Amino acid sequence: NRTADDLNFDSKYFKKLFSEDKGFPKEAVDTRLNMIKNVNETRFKNNKNEINHYSREQTYIALGTMLTTSSLLGIDSCAIGSFDSEAVTKILSEKNILDTDHFNLSCMLALGYRNENPTPKTRRSFEDVVEFIK
């Protein structure tokens, strides 16, 4: 996920995103930057921890899409949310894969193909797990 510094209204990231990548006219860029400024001030009180937390939560939207898409393509996947973030950050930054000035780790996703067919799934009956309350 992007760092709070990158998600500040006057960051190089947003300016490049809106003006160069998306090609918005200056007035539209200024409008969007002002909206971001207002959200950061009112919702997050310019608290970097709150902004980082929100940014981290947003990665799960992309993660859900990747999990669904991999399943549709017949690729096995496993979302990993509990890992040694400090150790993984160190490894990825040493290999110049992760730029810690602009990104934090929030989750990981393992993708691949299984070697063996899984054992059949077992399920409790619908009636055993669902109760309708009238």
Tens digits of residue pLDDT in 9-42: 999 999 999 999 999 999 999 999 999 999 999 9
pLDDT band at 116 (very low <50, low <70, confident <90, very high): confident
Nearest to 107 by CA among 50, 47, 51, 67: 67
- Residue 117 is predicted with a pLDDT of 84
**pLDDT of 91-104, one tens digit each?**
999 999 999 999 99
CATH class of 12-113: alpha beta
The model carries a pTM of 0.76
Give the contacts of 103 (CB within 8 A, at least 6 positions apart).
Answer: 1, 2, 3
Percent of the chain surpassing pLDDT 70: 100
More confident residue, 121 or 2: 2
**pLDDT of 38-84, one tens digit each?**
999 999 999 999 999 999 999 999 999 999 999 999 999 999 999 99
Give the contacts of 33 (CB within 8 A, at least 6 positions apart).
Answer: 9, 10, 14, 15, 18
- The answer on pLDDT for 7 being more than 90 is yes
- Residue 61 is predicted with a pLDDT of 97
Which amino acid is located at 109 in the chain? L
For 92-114, b/e burial (b = at least 16 CB within 10 A) is eeeeeebeeeebbbbbeeeeeee
Q: Return the domain boundaries, the chain.
A: 12-113
In the chain, at which residue ranges do the beta strands (DSSP E only) sit?
Answer: 76-80, 108-112
How far is 26 from 8, CA to CA, in rounded Å?
18
Q: What angle (nearest 5°) sits at the alpha carbon of residue 97, between those of residues 91 and 100?
A: 80
The token pair that represents 69 in the structure block: 């898409």
